Amino acid sequence: MTVVSQSRNFDVLGLDLDGYVAVPEHPVGVVLFARVPGGRSDEERDLRVSSELNTVGLATAWADLLTTAEQRIDAATAELRFDTDLLAVRTIAMIDLLASERPTAGLPGGLLGAHTAAAGCLTAAAARPEWVRAVASPGGRPDLAGEFLLIARAPTLLVVGEYDTTLRDRNQDAADRIAGPTRVALLDDVGHLINKPHAQSLLAEMCRDWFREHVRPRKSSRRRG
């Protein structure tokens, strides 16, 4: 399958957000990777997941939710990555862009957010339920979405390393509150960072199967005459 990929900048809310898109032939949907500052393991993880999604006809779009200047501030303070309202607003703006811009216009969508971006994704899922058909959170903080969990109805996959007991508890608490169908999956022999090749491969397969199942056009409800 041919996949056209390129780096690009997204113009949303008057901001210039760095990003990347990969579009297979005849895409059936698109998954937005909403990203906050992370390390090399995050890049490797997202590349693996993106490649798996492309193999099943899903386009992928990465967007750094903080501008370059904001990332410099956040590197010193770690404040902006915890501003979940800001992350949610920018995720929603990215959804609206992808929903209206070729080649992803008209496609059903999904969201993937690690770390605190998971909260922004679930808030966005509550705000854009027609577009967001599924959410995945690898090593994320969905609990930070607060009351928005109660109206987030998109099927949600929460993936956590088995050794990160604190994050497991936070994800389970969020899962108990999310309105839609939710699955909590543990990755064996992994802690907070999903940085081992076997774990990243398993995560990519989980996300592939999850989004392939849920990110698809809804069946028409035509009445038979």
Span 132-173, pLDDT tens digits: 999 999 999 999 999 999 999 999 999 999 999 999 999 999
User: What is each CA distance from 162 to 28, 98, 174, in whole angstroms?
Assistant: 33, 34, 17
| pLDDT-derived band at 179, boundaries 50, 70, 90 | very high
Determine the pLDDT at residue 117: 97
Question: In the prediction, which pLDDT does 97 show?
Answer: 97
The region of weakest confidence among 78-82, 104-108, 154-158, 193-197 is: 193-197
Average pLDDT value over all residues in the chain: 93
State which amino acid sits at residue 171: N
**Per-residue model confidence as pLDDT tens digits over 2-30:** 899 899 999 999 999 999 999 999 999 99
Amino acid in position 141: R
| 212 and 136 Cβ atoms separated by less than 8 Å | no
Which one, of 11, 27, 41, 12, lies nearest residue 124 by Cα? 12
Q: What is the pLDDT of residue 183?
A: 97
User: pTM for the full model?
Assistant: 0.93
Helix ranges (DSSP H) in 7-83: 40-55, 68-77
User: What does the pLDDT read at residue 104?
Assistant: 95
Q: What is the pLDDT of residue 220?
A: 53
Q: What percent of the chain has pLDDT above 70?
A: 97
What average pLDDT does range 46-74 have in this prediction? 96
- Mean pLDDT for 37-49 is 87
Over range 46-57, report the average pLDDT. Answer: 96
Give the pLDDT of residue 17.
96
Which of the four pLDDT bands, split at 50, 70 and 90, describes residue 195? confident
Given a cut of 90, is residue 96 above it in pLDDT? yes
C-beta atoms surrounding 76 within 10 Å: 7
